[in-house]
Amino acid sequence: MIEPVDTCAVCPRLCRHACPVAEGTGREAAVPAQLAGVLRAWRDGVVDEGLASQAASLCTDCGACSAACHLHVPLPEALAEARAALHLVSAPADLAPVLGEGGTVALLTDHRDWSEPLSRLLGEPVARWSTRDRLGWQGRGHPGWSSHLSRIRSEVGRRRVVVADQFARAALDAAGCETVSLHELIDRGGWTVSCRTSGQACCGGGGILGGHHASDAEQLALSFPVSGPLVDVGCAAHLRGSGRGVRDVIDVLEELVCDAL
């Protein structure tokens, strides 16, 4: 049976413009069809596991290649399978408890706590929930993934979760939780963190690539077209020192609260 990596390995790489990593870093090796070529060669015993691991970890799992493909080849799924086979999938970390009261939960993906200004902006109590591994999204495919989703569901309950990171959001969606993007909530502030290809919040390059290809993550973040002030969550965190007018998420929320008053 012809598998996605076979099809993509001989494809004219027509997904290259859609891939935020390939476009953002300029790295030919990051083109999804090139990743497929390496994984096919690894499957067929032509290249070693080290090369395959490098290739598989260049994918941020954003799905843009599959969306752009006229054949809708599910390459992201094939790459996720390859990561599992290459033991690149780690078990999701234990979940921290949700702290505080309220029907809304702020999911905090770094050390900053923006739940308080969000609470004032929304005019309601907001609980806070910290995760340092994007709610374990990279553990997708791990045997413990299903029970991990159950634990997410149980921790969130009927509350809605405000989230800035699309992969953490995907984990919440997989768990069946109600989510709201922080980006949408404060979009009226005019700030942006827009991926050039999808127009969505972020491609996840700053997180997933940060571990294996740190310089690519930085290059990727630098490639964002900036049409307004940036808020330093997600990939834009890599831009803090770039002199591109990056604003602290808490400051932006505080400003919006003032504007609302």
Q: How many residues lie near another protein (CB under 8 A)? A: 38
| CA R_g for the chain | 19
Residue 111 binds another protein (CB under 8 A): no
The residue to which tokens 């963190």 are assigned: 193
Dihedral of CA 87/37/212/107: which sign? negative
Q: Binder to another protein among 181, 198, 200, 223 (CB under 8 A)?
A: 223
User: Binding of another protein at residue 2 (CB under 8 A)?
Assistant: yes
- Whichever of 44 and 187 has its CB closer to another protein, that residue is 44
Q: Which stretch binds another protein (CB under 8 A): 36-44, 111-119, 129-137, 186-194?
A: 36-44
The residue (of 38 and 156) whose beta carbon lies closer to another protein is: 38
**Binding to another protein by residue 23, rule CB under 8 A?**
yes
**36 sits near another protein (criterion: CB under 8 A):** no
Say whether residue 47 binds another protein (CB under 8 A): yes
Residue 85: exposure state from Cβ atoms within 10 A (0-12, 13-18, ≥19): middle
68 part of the interface to another protein, by CB under 8 A: yes
* Residue closer to another protein, measured from CB, 64 or 256: 64
For residues 39 and 22, is the Cβ–Cβ distance under 8 A? no
Q: Are 114 and 250 in contact (CB under 8 A)?
A: yes
Quick one: which of 36, 55, 75, 186 contacts another protein (CB under 8 A)?
55
> Of these, 15, 162, 170, 175, which contacts another protein (CB under 8 A)?
15
By CB under 8 A, is residue 226 in contact with another protein?
A: no
Residues at the contact surface with another protein, assessed by CB under 8 A: 1-2, 6-7, 9-18, 23, 26-29, 31, 34, 37-38, 41, 44, 46-47, 50-51, 54-55, 58, 68-71, 196, 223
